[in-house]
Chain A
Amino acid sequence: MKKVIVACGSGVATSQTVASKVKSILEEKGVRASVEAVDIKSLDQYIKTSDVYISITKNTKEYDIPTLNGIAFLTGMGMEEETQKLLDALK
């Protein structure tokens, strides 16, 4: 099963909220994937085993896997595009 990670400062609130919303979207679309919230300090460790990274802020670092804008899921602005990117990445 493919894995999506969402990272924020603590891994307990913002990323959990985004992860929960992303889970709902994937369930509705019938896409099977695990979605996990992590804290930013552990990101490097988790990213090795993940397929998509949803970032809450603009990244200064480049990763080898598709990286999406998590703010879109919090504000609703640009959510459609980010959702499409997510679905494409999980195909």
Chain B
Amino acid sequence: MGGDKTRIIKHLILKDNVQIQELMIEFQLTKLEVRETINNINDSFNKDVIISSGQAVYMTEAAKMLCYKKIFREKGKLFSHHEFETRYNLIIIVLAVEKKYLSLLELAEICLVSKNTILNDMKLIKQDLEQKEIDVDYSRKHGYVMKGSEFAIRNLLVTAVKDVLRSLAGRILLEEKNLVDSSKIFRLRKRLERVESRIGITLTDEQLDELPYIIHFVIKRAKKLDTKWSFKIEKYDIKNTVEFPEIQQMFWDYDFLTQSDLLYLSLQVLASNMVESALAITDGDEVSEATDKFIDNIEANLAMHMHRRNELKNKVLLHMRPAIYRSLLGFQINNPLTQEFLDQYHEIYCVVKKSVKPFQDIIHRELSTEEIVYLCMIVLSWIYEAEETETIFKAVVLCQSGTSISKLLLVTLQSMFPEIDFIGAYSVRQFEQDGEEVDFIFTTVPINDKRATFIVPPILDSQTRIDLRNRVQGEMRNNSDPLVRSLMKVIKPYIPSQYIDVVSRKVCCLLAKQNASKVQTDNGSDQFKFSIDNISIIKESIDWKELVDISMLPLFRRKSITQHYVNKTKKVFYSNYNRMLIAENVYLPHVAAKFGVKKMDFQIVVLKKPAFTPNGEKVKIVVALAPSVENDHVPTLIKLNNLFMDKNIMCQMMKEENIFTIQSILNSLGGAEDEFCKFVSEGIN
């Protein structure tokens, strides 16, 4: 595979949210060349490993791994250096699974840094681990080793593995360091899927991806452990639960695992978030009873009746069962949305916090703020659902977890797009299985789907909200099918069956017409506002060869373009002028923005005495253009084309001496636009 292709793949593997423009700048390529290279890459893999969505390009995790295995694994390394956070996690993992002294040199080779850097890293790691009651022992002869409570070291190992997996290209990092064996990971995943079906649970996609790695590393650690260890689970008799023997069964061939190892591994599974569980509601179950009391408290504190109470109970149970196991393990769940949620929905947080006592009575301690915020998201999404109204478009929110994390995103999107019916937040796996019909997909993980798909971060900042709103509204304008479906559903009973198809087609055409005129109106806000500086009236005759210099000079003086842009335009325009026009006798000298546009700009040059092309065509007006990379100049060009198509306006422009009148014509919405609209809608009427 060629240099550009390999470098683009590497860039996309190591980075998320890549824009085409970023690739153009990074690799000195034109937009077309970037698109061509991406197409070539996809062709060489016989599948779309790189997906384009608007101006963004991305790769799914599976595609990243596929490309890594094909290009980098045998021929070279993907990573050239690691930041401290990655080094920290790598050091923890190797010290935990090797369970022997590792020298400075060995650690330095793994982390791709000098021995001095490792020395400094180890000082920081030692300080940090002291707080977790784990000691890092150092000997000049042998190097470093971790010592302390086995339970604490395993929890530290699990946290480090999770951190690596959640970092960019984390799975590939573990492969490149030879820390995992992909066949073993695959086997563990298959076993987990069997456990899921045997005990009737569905783990979130994120957990099903992470758990095989976590189990793999815990087993590696257990294999090296030569001393007995145990840990105490307060109150809970996990060994007598329905789940424990089933989970234990998945490790049948790891005969070196002790009862404590099996209990620890089972807890890892039980503490994982789930999207479904057949075991969720059991009469007389302690957690089930606590959930009933929790919902009673919520209803009393909010003074409202929660609709579909049983479904809500199921949702809360799905979250609280693993939460209780997490609490028993002493795991602190990480909820990146906590602060934003507290800022935005403090009142609901206070109500939920007041209502969680039944759960705290089970675990004999307070629930963490993070866990309460997760519960808040579930409660809040339920309240929003109660307020749902009739909508036309259907959408779904997808994320790796499919649980509480996506709930806030769902709530945010619902408030941003009240015109869309969000059917819920799901994991990708769950959504694919259910096959729900939707018009739009909002997802935090890249997926390959033919429907309009918007990749969004879990937290939407103000700029992202503006961009997303524009993109979604554009998509809604272009897609009138859902509106036609809704309308037809309502009016179908009143139409004779033989006319249903005809009426449906008529409605479709009518809506398309409405949408098109809306686009025209909306374009008004995207129009370039012409000032008198953007207009030149030239009364003298000018020579064809001076045309570009004269028309481009104001743009150059306004620092909108460089001299290189002028030179390039001259070269291209004089050999292609018959392709560079915007209306009859109106020429459009320009080249692509990459040749030296600093900002989008226009200069309208009215030639009172027409110039002539070498073909003898009249040049009455010149539109000197400095285009934008994002094609923001196109709405203005369409407007100019509509104006110049109108013979009366063209005539008025040519006769007019007053620059302010010309300015007023250019900034008006008039021209042949109405005729154009009339023309295109003729077929409908």
Contact = CB atoms under 8 A, between A and B. Distances in A.
A61 B662 CA distance: 40
B582 A29 contact: no
B679 interface: yes
B238 interface: no
Contact of B676 (A11, A21, A77): A21
B31 to A, nearest CB: 9
Contact of A40 (B515, B576, B681): B576
Interface in A4-58: 7-14, 16-17, 20-21, 24-25, 27-30, 38-40, 42, 45, 56-57
Contacts of A30: 505, 508-509, 512
Tell me if B's interface is mostly helix, strand, loop or mixed.
helix
Contacts, number: 105
B591 interface: yes
Contact of A9 (B519, B580, B582, B637): B580
Contacts of A90: none
B592 interface: yes
A30 B243 CA distance: 56
A29 B580 contact: no
Contact of A20 (B573, B579, B634): B634
Contact of B590 (A12, A20, A38): A12
A8 B591 CA distance: 11
Contacts of A11: 32, 592
B512 A17 contact: no
A85 to B, nearest CB: 14
A76 B576 contact: no
Contacts of B581: 14, 56, 71, 74
Contact of B593 (A12, A24, A40, A75): A12
Size category of the B interface is: 35 or more
B582 A13 contact: yes
A9 B593 CA distance: 13
Given A27-B516, A28-B516, A13 B633 contact: yes
Among A16, A38, A80, which residue has the most Cβ atoms of chain B within 10 A?
A16
B584 interface: yes
Interface in B442-492: 478
Nearest to A80: B679
B532 to A, nearest CB: 23
Contacts of A16: 631, 634, 637
Contact of B579 (A24, A57, A75, A76): A57
A57 B581 CA distance: 10
Interface in B489-520: 505, 508-509, 512-513, 515-516, 519-520
A8 B672 contact: no
A77 B650 CA distance: 15
A29 B581 CA distance: 26
B634 A14 contact: no
A28 B508 contact: no
Interface in A70-89: 71, 74-77, 79-80
Contact of B645 (A20, A42, A57, A76): A76
Contact of B515 (A7, A27, A77): A27
8 contacts: A10-B592, A12-B593, A17-B637, A17-B638, A20-B634, A21-B638, A29-B683, A71-B584
Q: Which 8 A-B pairs have the closest CB atoms?
A: A9-B576, A28-B680, A75-B584, A17-B637, A56-B579, A9-B579, A76-B645, A57-B578
Given A13-B627, A71-B581, 18 more contacts: A7-B579, A9-B572, A10-B572, A11-B32, A13-B580, A13-B633, A14-B579, A16-B634, A24-B520, A27-B478, A28-B513, A28-B680, A30-B508, A38-B32, A39-B592, A42-B32, A74-B581, A75-B583
Interface of B: 32, 36, 478, 505, 508-509, 512-513, 515-516, 519-520, 572-573, 576, 578-584, 588, 590-593, 625, 627, 631, 633-634, 637-638, 641, 645, 672, 675-676, 679-681, 683-684
